[in-house]
Amino acid sequence: MTAETPRPGSRRLLIAGGGLPSLALALALKQAHGPALAVTVIDPGRADPGRHRGRAYALAAGGRRMLDRLGLWPRVAEAAEPITEMVISDSRLADPVRPVFLTFGREAEDDRDPGEPFAHMIEAEPLAEALAEACRGAGVSIVAAGVVRAVPEGAAIGAVLTTGETLRGDLLVAADGARSRLREAARIGWVGWSYPQVGIVATIGHARPHGGRAVEHFLPAGPFAILPLRDGGPLGHRSSIVWTERSDDAEALLSGGPDEVLAEIERRFTLDLGTLALEHGPSRHPLAFGIARAFRAERLALLGDAAHVIHPIAGQGLNLGLADAAALAEAVTEALRLGLDPGGPDVLRAYERARRFDSFAMAAATDGLNRLFSNDALPLRLARDLGLGIVDRLPGLKRFFIGEAAAARGSRPRLLRGEAL
């Protein structure tokens, strides 16, 4: 698709990066404003059809409501698996028994609908395809290029593309990843560090059903999560694993053939799901913490990984990005309906106020959890296991954690509440 030419008197939003939060933002705004707002997604990865293959996400209840409001959930619901139970254990790898210290079941005590799961597992590929198709149907322009630099021009901002073309808009959204060139060019500071860990992702086939149960084993090297996927594959049932391992050990663990890798997975898997098989992966991903010192600059807003990067221990990466998209769509919409500049400083300040504290709180929480549980010191192990047991026995505290996991608490953007912009 080529870039849309804005109609006379209309506004234009440019989005650098074609990830899932970017497409959700583009779709939300285009549905809300139609021809009054031209929306262009500048996606350098559009030519790679396999970039989402093998990845899966835990979609919180708030994100599901947002997709439902955008008309997407009916398209992807068949590809999503509800998480009906979450089980947390803490042990060493060689321990013959891994005691369960905390479970989250079918509780509906927070503000979810009765019986609504606090999350669904969904593979990235069908979700990305549905978002892209919906964007095309709504009139979003998608350009297969990257942004070389951004040039604020008073009442507009120019995005110089790798094709040599320059697009101008009222606002440019930098959704170009953790190493965002646009963030660096805008001289927005970044606080972050790399973990001495890598994340290993794979899709596992198994002979017995998982029953919608997700399991997180906290091991000294880091968490090993087993997350339920929709049934399918040669063995009939499937799960995604997110395996955190020390960087120094990961290469040796993954250097063997598929049988050796599967044996290492089986050592950590522990669930009685019968025969296991590798269906996809494993793939390695470096892990890091990072948050931008500001989420905005002149006619520029940061979105997703360009604004924050967190440890996958709580599975909240996509949910944070969707919350960014919902908050920015709301701020831009309120400005447009008042006849104000959607790229003006007041709009960007409102977006930053809505997102920076929550993003920092989640980043700090995941960092703290990783440091607490990726540790084999006996006194610390005893203290955290006692803490998990206390949470499991206190309904009020347990409801709080369920609400946080489901993105159901606090002042949430309208789309995350399932409401129209």
pLDDT tens per residue, range 232-250: 999 999 999 999 999 999 9
List, for residues 254-281, the tens digit of each pLDDT value. Answer: 888 889 999 999 988 877 899 999 999 8
d(CA 302, CA 177): 10
Asked whether the predicted pLDDT for residue 219 surpasses 90, the reply is no
Lowest mean pLDDT among 21-25, 189-193, 195-199, 391-395: 391-395
CA 208 to CA 25: how far, in whole Å?
38
Q: What is the mean pLDDT of residues 62-73?
A: 96
Residue type, 241: I
Band (391; pLDDT cuts 50, 70, 90): very low
Residue 408 predicted with pLDDT over 50 = no
- The pLDDT score that the predictor gives to residue 68 is 97
| pLDDT for residue 149 is more than 50 | yes
Task: Name beta bridge partners: 278.
Answer: 204
Q: What is the mean pLDDT of residues 7-15?
A: 83
Q: How far is CA 256 from the centre of its chain?
A: 30
d(C-alpha 95, C-alpha 98), whole Å: 7
Question: Which is more confidently placed, 103 or 412?
Answer: 412
Residue 88 binned pLDDT confidence (cut-offs 50, 70, 90): confident
Choose between 27 and 384: higher pLDDT.
27
The mean of the pLDDT values for the chain is: 87
Residue 11 has pLDDT above 60, yes or no: yes
Give the torsion sign (CA, 283, 286, 287, 291).
Answer: negative
Task: Give kind and range of the element (H or E) at residue 290.
Answer: strand 276-292
Per-residue confidence band for 92, with pLDDT thresholds at 50, 70 and 90? confident
pLDDT in tens, 360-382: 988 888 887 777 776 666 555 55
Q: CA 325 to CA 413: how far, in whole Å? A: 9
Q: Is the pLDDT of residue 104 over 70?
A: no
Average pLDDT over residues 382-404: 50
Residues 126-143 have pLDDT tens digits of 999 999 999 999 999 999
Structure confidence at residue 396 (pLDDT): 46
Tell me: pLDDT of 392 over 60: no
pLDDT > 80? residue 190: yes
Residue 340 per-residue DSSP state: -
**Cβ 274 vs Cβ 326: under 8 Å:** no
**Digit-coded pLDDT (tens) for 281-333:** 899 999 999 999 999 999 999 999 999 999 998 788 899 999 999 999 999 99
Mean pLDDT of 193-204: 94
- How sure is the predictor about 54, in pLDDT bands with cuts at 50, 70 and 90? confident
pLDDT at 376: 61
Cα 298 to Cα 17, 25, 153, 157, 348, distances in angstroms: 19, 20, 9, 9, 9
What percent of the chain lies above the pLDDT cut of 70?
A: 84
Q: Identify the pLDDT of residue 294.
A: 97
| Domain 11-192+289-417 falls under CATH 3.50.50.60 | yes
Judge contact between 108 and 408, C-beta under 8 A: no
Tokens describing residue 106? 């079918």
b/e 75-97 (16+ beta carbons within 10 angstroms → b): bbeebbbbbbbbbbbbbeeeeee
Among 269, 204, 273, CA closest to 238: 204
pLDDT of amino acid 117: 80
Residues 6+ apart with CB under 8 A from 180: 174, 302, 305, 306
Annotated domain spans of the chain? 11-192+289-417
